[in-house]
Amino acid sequence: MPATIAILDDDHILRLIRYAIAGPGEVTEDWARGFFLPEAMDTAIVRAAGDGLHAADGVTLLPLASSTSLRRAGDLDVLIFRRGAIDAALMEAHPRLKLIQRIGERADMIDLAAAKARNIAVSCVPRPSLQHTAEHAILLMLALGKKLIAADAALRADRWDRARVHPDHGVAYNWTGQTGLTGLYGKTIGIVGLGEVGVMAARIAKAFGARVIYCNRTRLAPDKERALGVDYRTLPDLLAESDVVSLHASNLPDNKGMIDAAFFAAMKTTAFFVNTSRGRMVDEAALADALTRGTIAGAGIDVFAEEPLQAPSPLTGLANIILTPHIAGGSRTGIVEEVAAVLGNCRAVLKGGELKYRVA
């Protein structure tokens, strides 16, 4: 029987899924190839992830859909999405619907009871790239607290005070004399934007023995806060309490430049700022000024307002900042595994096989 797949929203991974199913067209070959640069990737590998789901296999991929258009009656078999909400009314409009496939591990935007009542399978595929991003945020926090870059540089340069270092049985603690060394245990981590990556970062920070507070556009339900072990704060209170402020807010137009001079002034002078989200949310001139003046103690930055970061930049000359070139999510080639997981589930529900990451 012919099958129809719709993709509800649009971002880079969803475009790759469209390319894997339909090939060059709505998503161009140039875009697919350019997405992975400067890493090398044979786009035929991406296309192969959609084997069994091409037009020649009897599968129709609808043009980029909207939640409004999908609420009209139709013959949809599979719905793939990342953001938005899937409710009973949308399911009712598609009596043939077999699979609701979310990209990401959270299912709280899907009416699972309605799906169960209609015998619609629901899968939420976890994304390693998001977990890697959360790990990178923690990495930057630790590197700042441990003075990793300064310690490495001093050791390599053999730069230490011979008069003040007296090894004991071949052991010389901190012989390069790093000051203010700290870690995450017992610290307060403030997460701005508790989405999927923010939740992952919170879990990791908790495992290090940190206390986690958060602010978000919408506060979580009390049971979810308890399950995650996080406490809600308004933004001013979060900034006043946090030893590390980690940005994980959505890259919405209204959030452009939200991290400004007033934001940094409200932080502790001993606190660190970490950004693995999007650079355009940060006023980089205000950040450089805050680091230069000692308004905050340090920063770890993976993303920038314009990438690549143009040299010279006021950020690159500062000793109290760690900079990485937008690598928090790991290798872009790894996203092909996420695409393959989603499309493998589509094949399973349409042609038979094991459905992975099923939540309902």
Catalytic residue among 118, 203, 219, 326: 326
- CB count in 10 Å sphere of residue 39: 10
| Distance separating alpha carbons of residues 292 and 318, to the nearest angstrom | 7
Instruction: Count Cβ atoms below 10 Å from residue 311 Cβ, excluding itself.
Output: 6
The answer to whether 318 touches 292, Cβ cutoff 8 Å, is: yes
Is 278 labeled as catalytic in the residue annotation?
Answer: yes
Q: Which residue out of 278, 280, 284, 338 is catalytically annotated?
A: 278
Label residues 246-276 b or e (16+ Cβ within 10 Å = b): bbbbeeeeebeebbeeebbebbbeebbbbbb
**Nearest CA among 180, 191, 203, 214 for reference residue 298:** 180
Nearest residue to 10 (alpha-carbon basis) of 69, 72, 76, 83: 83
What's phi and psi for 222, nearest 5 deg? -55, -40
Q: Which of 29, 39, 306, 307 is catalytic?
A: 307
Q: Which residues are catalytic?
A: 278, 307, 326
